[in-house]
Structure 1
Amino acid sequence: MLKVLPVLLLLAVWIYAFVECLNTPERDVRKLPKVAWILIILLFTPLGPVAWFLAGRPRRNAPYGAVRSEERRWVAPDDNPNFLKSLDERDGGPGPDEGPAPRDAGPEDPPPAR
């Protein structure tokens, strides 16, 4: 039984990679065309499925649902208008077009220059 287990495991990984590659839309496949990935999975059985999982399959955990590399750009919170808007709504402060809130002059402020 232990001699058959690695063969069954390899067969399961190969079938999973092949079916997943067939079901992946052409626009989501990375690095190579989909037909090339199918041939790699079929012809290079031990390494083909591993190459598909590492380099060809679309990333599922990409931010904001992005799949392509140009869509996976990280945006700092102070550059993200949706984040700034959510802060203003939460705090009840001015919107992004209203400018900063007016500040009252206090004892620590220097007198105006003349």
Structure 2
Amino acid sequence: MFRALIYLLPLALTIYAFIDCLNTPEDEAKHLPKIAWVFIILLFWIVGPIVWLAAGKMRHAPAGGRTPSERHRNHRSQWVAPDDNPEFLNALKEENKKDESLLKDWEADLRRREEELKRRENGESPSASGE
């Protein structure tokens, strides 16, 4: 049992540090680029994860609260859902107007082409239709 712990604890530490490193934004990785930290964690099995946890990531006190849930609660008050965001709604209206005008142009072009085909089938010449 203790022999298994000798291998499982460093493996668990490596996996935890690897996932933590991957989830850390690039600007919060200290001293080295994030990709270098990934290689250090994976190549130096026990020392790499410990160095990452100790010195590789910026760790700071919670800004908006004592716990992560309190921090997230504060961030939610700043975030606006798309259906409540006037800029997003205006952009949708503008896009809808453009799409509607494009659709009207396509319908008019389609009607023109259908009329032209009907005239050709009836034996009228294209010059008689004013083209």
Q: How does the TM-score come out when normalised to structure 2?
A: 0.46
CA distance in 2, matches of 1:60, 1:52: 15
Q: Which residue of 2 aligns with 1:105?
A: none
Runs of 4+, deviation exceeding 6 Å: none
Aligned: 1:6 with 2:6: yes
Aligned: 1:18 with 2:18: yes
Q: Which residue of 2 aligns with 1:51?
A: 51
For structure 1, the 5+ residue unaligned runs are 66-114
Q: Percent identity?
A: 52
Counterpart code for 2:19:
V
Q: Which residue of 2 aligns with 1:109?
A: none
Instruction: Give the aligned length.
Output: 64
Q: Which residue of 2 aligns with 1:60?
A: 60
Counterpart code for 1:40:
I
CA distance in 1, matches of 2:13, 2:60: 18
Counterpart code for 1:31:
H
Counterpart code for 1:14:
T
- Structure 1 residue 60, shift from structure 2 partner: 3.4
Counterpart code for 2:24:
T
CA distance in 2, matches of 1:27, 1:8: 31
Q: Which residue of 1 aligns with 2:37?
A: 37
Q: How does the TM-score come out when normalised to structure 1?
A: 0.52
Q: Which residue of 2 aligns with 1:73?
A: none
Change (3 A) 1:61 1:6: farther
CA distance in 2, matches of 1:47, 1:16: 13
Q: Deviations over 1:55-110 (max 9, x none)?
A: 10221327x47xxxxxxxxxxxxxxxxxxxxxxxxxxxxxxxxxxxxxxxxxxxxx
Counterpart code for 2:18:
F
Counterpart code for 1:61:
A
CA distance in 1, matches of 2:58, 2:13: 17
Counterpart code for 1:22:
L
